[in-house]
Amino acid sequence: MKESATLEFKSDITNTFLKTVSAYSNYGEGRILFGVDDDGRIVGVKDVKQACLDIENKINDSISPRPDYSLDVDADTNVITLLIKEGKHKPYLYKSKAYKRNDTASVEVDYLEFTELVLKGQNLTFDDISSANQNLEFSYLEKKLQETIGIDSLTNDILRTLGLYTSERHYNNAAALLADKNDFRGIDIARFGESISYILDRRTLANISVLSQYDQAVEIYRQYYQYEVIDEIKRKTVENVPERAFREAVANAIVHRKWNVDAHIRIEMYSDRIEIFSPGGLPAGVTVDDYVNGRVSILRNPILGGVFFRMHYIEQFGTGIRRIKEAYQDNSRKPVFDISENVIHVILPVLGHSDLSEDQKKIYELMKMGREISSSMAAQETGFSKSKATTILKDLVAGGYVKVIGKGRGTKYAKK
């Protein structure tokens, strides 16, 4: 038996366990075993009855508001189990501070986390509280609602149905995020060349409706990761990165991020992948395993998520990660989800080209990170004859994998 995020051992009764009581009350059920040392060995408690009284008195005198807990005694081992349940009246404070579990330690929460606990205690979310700006306009929202659900015009009743008013009839933060102009950070998009020092394009989408941010991000994606080819007499779109995976990742970043963090969502575009960074980490109560396996059902910004759902930007709640994975189910390269306390990092690789011959792959791989090559360079680096390298490059161009840059002697080739 070892300590964990939901289990702590105490060989005796000191005030140090009270931080953990605060942590479990704020963020989820946990147990503290008294009479067990740090190595998991049972040492027992000498006076069980007095020990239980001491535990109760310390909790009742030191934790505010009073948490939901129970005590159980094992008569054979004299081990006392203190079970603390997550409370509804957050934050639960010990010496005027709130705590959370960080692996096997109980640590003080920061200001942003404390603010979230206060909102949860009031049964509110950040997108539900009153916006500092009440002078809002919604022309872009109106246009999108006309396109998606066919409204004639945006009325106060529709705004109320979307949940954009507080109970006091003020615009909330969800309304501000959807408004034509706002004071929030947005999405910072950069396209890189051979290295991160070589920026080919950069655009910052901020202080505008998150719907516009989303739509513009998709258009930028299409510019660099989609192209059209003629298949017999039909024109078809080829995707280097699946559009549905990109859409889901960006929508998730917008709906689940912490909007009170003063940072942009970052989208980094490379020749072989797209990386998306969403500020704020996972919502409380969602584990990394829950997230990666597509079991997320807790919306950090439920009002905003509801609007995205109504407008078909996201489908059933909690299925976004599964849909991203499904977009790559037949591809050798898979998306990567890197979760830390403060950031959700999603990597969408460029689809592999399994239909290329081995010789074609050798030349295609020379054009990593936006590198441009000539037929002479291709021949030199692969050992092919120049005529063979030229033929392969022409086939890659015809197949829609490679684009031609320049003319004559200065002709070069690069990935699309």
Instruction: Provide the percentage of residues in the chain whose pLDDT is more than 70.
Output: 95
Closest C-alpha to 304, from 116, 178, 179, 154: 178
313 versus 186: the higher-pLDDT residue is 186
What is the chain's mean pLDDT, rounded?
90
- pLDDT tens digits, residue range 106-145? 999 988 889 889 988 988 899 999 999 999 999 999 999 9
Closest C-alpha to 187, from 170, 173, 203: 203
Mean pLDDT of 331-335: 77
Mean pLDDT of 48-53: 96
Strand boundaries in 158-260, DSSP class E? 187-192, 199-205, 226-231, 234-239
> So what's the pLDDT on residue 396?
83
28 versus 291: the higher-pLDDT residue is 28
Strand partners, 181: 208
Please give the helix or strand (H or E) that residue 84 lies within, else none: strand 79-85
Whole-angstrom Cα distance, residue 60 to residue 68? Answer: 11
- Per-residue pLDDT band for 285 (boundaries 50, 70, 90) equals low
Sequence-distant (≥ 6) Cβ neighbours of residue 240 within 8 angstroms: 225, 226, 227, 350, 351, 416
Mean pLDDT of 6-28: 95
Pairing relation of β-strands 93-94 and 97-102? antiparallel
- pLDDT tens digits, residue range 359-377? 888 898 898 767 899 999 9
> So what's the pLDDT on residue 253?
94
Lowest mean pLDDT among 40-44, 157-161, 364-368: 364-368
Closest C-alpha to 206, from 171, 235, 177: 177
412 versus 196: the higher-pLDDT residue is 412
- Per-residue pLDDT band for 341 (boundaries 50, 70, 90) equals confident
> So what's the pLDDT on residue 401?
73
Above 70 in pLDDT, residue 187? yes
- pLDDT tens digits, residue range 188-246? 999 998 778 889 999 999 999 999 999 999 999 999 998 877 766 677 788 899 999 99
**Buried residues in 58-72 as b, exposed as e (16+ CB within 10 A):** bbeeebeeebbbebe
HSE of 161, CA atoms in CB hemisphere, 13 A = 8
Mean pLDDT of 330-349: 86
> So what's the pLDDT on residue 174?
97
